[in-house]
Amino acid sequence: MKRKICFLTGTRADFGKLKPLMQAVDTAPDFECLIFATGMHMLTRYGLTVDEIYKAGFRTVHGFMNHVHGEPMELILANTISGLSRYLHESEPDLFLVHGDRVEALAGAIVGALRNVRVAHIEGGEVSGTVDELLRHAITKLAHLHFVANESARGRIIQLGENPRSVYVIGSPEVDVMLSPRLPSLEEVQRYYEIPFERYAIGIFHPVTTEPEPQSERARNFAAALVESEDNFVLIHPNNDQGSDAIFEAYDQFRGNGRFRMFPSMRFEYFLTLLRHARYIVGNSSTGVREAPVYAVPSVNVGNREINRLRHESIVDVGNEKGEIIRGIAKALALDGLAPCHHFGDGKSTSRFMETIRSEELWRAPIQKQFRDVPLAPARS
């Protein structure tokens, strides 16, 4: 009898990360792949990216609109819990997978834990900043199984009291896609998205939910710095966190400027090709501190949204002032001889994942979790 493996995806980004795992499960004779698509996937403003899930060939996709633009995170959480509870009641998966640190993933972990469905968390144990870090660690405590990118993440999850036997180091699944020889060519991507630039940078700027007051000023500074830089830019819309309206308003500075091409979202593989060939990436997205170093592409990391992430020689940290961003761009362009970073994976995550979910040890693990104490160092007198 096939085991049902259900994936929750709420954003264009986490779908790209989960896609190789979904494909492996979907083509495996001993598993059935289910997908619960919600969040930004269901909103036209962000590209209605649920269509990309269907285009990828997945057969069992349940779309659920959990919010409209402008609703607060706690209401999105409640809406997602409501819809997901009914879906899990009907679908009865054997394993439920959530990714990262979004509010939809927290909803998934809550519902799975309360319904006695095994919850597996992808890419927990990492540190970043803002409310994302709180959500990520909360999901860890609700999840039964943990598929992490590296030993550093594994150590943090064990510090949180999780059973070491429940933590599997597989690497980040997105690196499998990043290192794939089957990515589209740059010419194909530029033709598909009508990007006329031979040389370009990428810009992605998200709201910082824990610091709403300065959001408008910071967004204006970011947009003004890009205009003043005189570079060509491919811009991806911000995520749907509170404060995104301020960023869209700041982007009015780009109106009529032929140096900017802006997109609600982009196919993951196409975006990776653009990233690989970019002069640099600027903004406060995790792409600049996780994906860009894999390709040794310089990144200008603006502000403190990713303050606790891995630091690599390709990353230039700057503040939120226009002048700081402009100087950071100049510094990034001067970087030379950068080496690729493989801290988050080696391209073999999918095979490790499939090997793990086929192990009887995983399925024998009890649903009832136990807290594991980690010995503390003696307090200083």
Q: What is the CATH number of the domain that holds 81?
A: 3.40.50.2000
Question: Is there a single domain that holds both residue 167 and residue 209?
Answer: no
pLDDT (0 to 100) of residue 132? 86
- pLDDT (average), residues 352-368: 94
**4-46: pLDDT as tens digits:** 999 999 998 899 999 999 999 999 999 999 999 999 999 998 8
- Which residue type sits at 288? G
Least confidently predicted of 19-23, 77-81, 375-379: 375-379
Question: Is there a single domain that holds both residue 263 and residue 358?
Answer: no
CB atoms within 10 A of CB 83: 17
Question: Is there a single domain that holds both residue 83 and residue 14?
Answer: yes
Question: Is there a single domain that holds both residue 156 and residue 14?
Answer: yes
**145-198: pLDDT as tens digits:** 999 999 999 999 999 999 999 999 999 999 999 999 999 999 999 999 999 999
- In this prediction, what percent of the chain has a pLDDT beyond 90? 88
What is the average pLDDT score of the chain?
95
Phi and psi angles of residue 337, each rounded to the nearest 5 degrees, phi first? 65, 30
Across the strands, what pairs with 202? Answer: 234, 281
Q: For residue 340, is it within any domain?
A: no
Domain span at residue 69 reads 3-179+346-364
Q: Answer for the pair 32, 3: CB distance below 8 angstroms, yes or no.
A: yes
Global pTM reads: 0.91
Q: For residue 302, is it within any domain?
A: yes
Confidence of residue 381 (pLDDT cuts 50, 70, 90): low
Cβ within 8 Å of residue 274, ≥6 positions away: 186, 189, 195, 200, 202, 234, 266
DSSP H/E element including 35: strand 31-37
Structure tokens, 255: 């109106």
Q: Answer for the pair 266, 236: CB distance below 8 angstroms, yes or no.
A: yes
Residue among 89, 86, 76 nearest 38 (CA): 76
Q: For residue 376, is it within any domain?
A: no
Question: Is there a single domain that holds both residue 194 and residue 48?
Answer: no
For 180, half-sphere exposure in the C-beta direction (CA atoms, 13 angstrom radius) is 18
- Across the beta sheet with 281-283, the strand order is 260-263, 233-236, 201-204, 281-283, 299-302, 315-318
Q: b or e along 212-246 (b: 16 or more beta carbons within 10 Å of the residue's beta carbon)?
A: eeebeebbbbbbbbbbebebbbbbbbbbbbebbeb
Confidence of residue 327 (pLDDT cuts 50, 70, 90): very high
Distance CA 50, CA 1 (A): 29
Question: Is there a single domain that holds both residue 51 and residue 77?
Answer: yes
Domain count, the chain: 2
Question: Is there a single domain that holds both residue 194 and residue 83?
Answer: no
Residue among 262, 254, 316 nearest 284 (CA): 316
Question: Is there a single domain that holds both residue 35 and residue 87?
Answer: yes
Residue among 230, 286, 224, 282 nearest 249 (CA): 224
Residue among 93, 153, 96, 100 nearest 122 (CA): 100
Confidence of residue 311 (pLDDT cuts 50, 70, 90): confident
- In this prediction, what percent of the chain has a pLDDT beyond 70? 100
Q: For residue 374, is it within any domain?
A: no
Question: Is there a single domain that holds both residue 350 and residue 272?
Answer: no
Question: Is there a single domain that holds both residue 23 and residue 67?
Answer: yes
Question: Is there a single domain that holds both residue 119 and residue 202?
Answer: no
To 10 degrees, the CA torsion angle through 118, 124, 129, 130?
-10
Q: For residue 372, is it within any domain?
A: no
Distance CA 282, CA 300 (A): 5
* 186-193 helix and 268-277 helix, angle to the nearest 10 degrees: 120
Question: Is there a single domain that holds both residue 194 and residue 166?
Answer: no
Q: For residue 373, is it within any domain?
A: no
